[in-house]
Amino acid sequence: MTIVKESAPHLRRNDSLARMFLDVIIALAPVVIFAIVGYGWAAVRNLLIPSAIMIASEYISILIRTPLPNDGNKHGLKEKIKLASSKWTINNLLAPLISGLIMGLIMPAESDPIAFIYIALVVGSLFGIIIGKLVFGGTGHNIFNPAAVGMVFAKLCFGSHYVYTAPFYVSSIPVGGTALSTIVGTSSSGVGVTHFASLGSDYSLLDLFLGNCPGVIGETCKIAILAGLIYLLIRRAIDWRVVLAYLGTFFVLLCVAALSISLSIEGTSFGMIIGYEMLSGGLLFGAVYMLTDPVTMPITSPGRIFYGFVAASITLLIRLFGAYPEGVVFSILLANAIAPFIDYYKWSTQKFTRKKVILLCCLYATMILVITLGVLYSGKAVA
């Protein structure tokens, strides 16, 4: 027994990084189970390929970054592998596993021809983990969500070959359907916001809620995602401020949009628009599993509210007026890019100052104005 000196404080909270990562994986479990039940082999393949690639890339990056002892002796690759393996911790396994699972869950089940989905998975996950994370220095240093980077890259490269299918347990499989985000965003491309008139013809709100609709494999079943959300909130593995700010802002701005749409365009109903937009696409999945990645979000509480606001505004703008269906993923990446700016030391504070409240109100007012005018113009253009 010896007495060792250490700096104060001498107590630590019973908590660890591994616990946080494990919580996210447990929270992903219901979504993964529903995906495997619903899509069978396609889901297994979607989950395995990115996970394996991302974990392998992480290991190789550690191997590259591990220097051999510079003592004049010759050291072989074997020794290097040994040295790298000793640096390999459970966190180096869990972090890329999470990215890999999320990446697999936001990819579609099929493609036409089928080979493209394999290429998309491989290329996307390689790009996501290397460009999205490892080049910045690995865990804790990345600016963008690696899964989102990979997914967007794959979509841009191979998107036209994607086929969005509904899970097997759906009685009438609409083969060759499109992702709901697509239905909402661009199914009537070129005619602006008028497609809201045809809502409810294909899927009821209950279908959307239960996952009885086509889409990427992880986003369809809302019950599984909500279960994951509750687990994450109970375990405090995510910050509720971001989820609340994101979904809350989206809902408020959506109400404005829905009101102006239902007033200006015939055949649309306020309730239907809100229900469909809230339940369709990757909104919930993104809000629960991707936007809440602590590494890529601002660190202060007011910053996190602004972050949620920015992401929600961009999501809604892309969904209402944009050409791409993946509003959520794009908005997450753009909000990630803004996070360091929100955290800039000259204005980041933990307190809600009056200035910040005023700024947030102004931003809300601007967004409401933009959405109202946008909807009115877009509706007029059609008429």
Q: Which residues bind another protein (CB under 8 A)?
A: 1-17, 19-20, 89, 91, 138-141, 235-239, 294-295, 297, 299-301, 304, 343, 345-346, 348-351
**Cβ closest to another protein, residue 192 vs residue 308:** 308
Radius of gyration of the chain (CA): 23
Token pair recorded at residue 246: 């994101």
* Cβ-Cβ contacts under 8 Å for 175 (sequence gap 6 or more): 165
In the complex, the smallest distance separating the C-beta of residue 302 from another protein, rounded to whole angstroms, is 10
In the complex, the smallest distance separating the C-beta of residue 309 from another protein, rounded to whole angstroms, is 17
3-state SS class at 190:
coil
Rounded CA-CA distance 99/115 in Å is 23
In the complex, the smallest distance separating the C-beta of residue 135 from another protein, rounded to whole angstroms, is 15
Q: Which of 130, 118, 195, 197 is closest to 158 using CA atoms? A: 118
Token pair recorded at residue 244: 């609340």
**Cβ closest to another protein, residue 83 vs residue 119:** 83
* Whether the Cβ atoms of residue 150 and residue 160 lie closer than 8 Å to each other: no
* Whether the Cβ atoms of residue 200 and residue 267 lie closer than 8 Å to each other: no
**Cβ closest to another protein, residue 4 vs residue 77:** 4
**Cβ closest to another protein, residue 74 vs residue 346:** 346
In the complex, the smallest distance separating the C-beta of residue 214 from another protein, rounded to whole angstroms, is 34
**Cβ closest to another protein, residue 66 vs residue 269:** 66
**Cβ closest to another protein, residue 26 vs residue 44:** 26
Residues written for the chain: 383
- The upper half-sphere exposure of residue 197, i.e. CA atoms within 13 Å in the direction of its Cβ, equals 13
Q: Which of 256, 279, 244, 285 is closest to 147 using CA atoms? A: 285
Token pair recorded at residue 175: 């083969």
Rounded CA-CA distance 312/180 in Å is 18
Rounded CA-CA distance 182/177 in Å is 10
3-state SS class at 165:
strand
Alpha-carbon distances of 11 from 5, 18, 19, 235, 237, rounded to whole Å: 14, 19, 18, 21, 21
In the complex, the smallest distance separating the C-beta of residue 39 from another protein, rounded to whole angstroms, is 31
- Supply φ then ψ for residue 276, to 5 degrees: -65, -45
**Cβ closest to another protein, residue 135 vs residue 381:** 135
In the complex, the smallest distance separating the C-beta of residue 94 from another protein, rounded to whole angstroms, is 11
In the complex, the smallest distance separating the C-beta of residue 304 from another protein, rounded to whole angstroms, is 8
* Cβ-Cβ contacts under 8 Å for 293 (sequence gap 6 or more): 145
* Whether the Cβ atoms of residue 12 and residue 141 lie closer than 8 Å to each other: no
**Cβ closest to another protein, residue 168 vs residue 352:** 352
**Cβ closest to another protein, residue 7 vs residue 73:** 7
In the complex, the smallest distance separating the C-beta of residue 287 from another protein, rounded to whole angstroms, is 16
**Cβ closest to another protein, residue 5 vs residue 354:** 5
In the complex, the smallest distance separating the C-beta of residue 20 from another protein, rounded to whole angstroms, is 6
Please count the other Cβ atoms lying within 10 Å of the Cβ belonging to residue 268.
Answer: 20
* Cβ-Cβ contacts under 8 Å for 48 (sequence gap 6 or more): 104
In the complex, the smallest distance separating the C-beta of residue 256 from another protein, rounded to whole angstroms, is 30
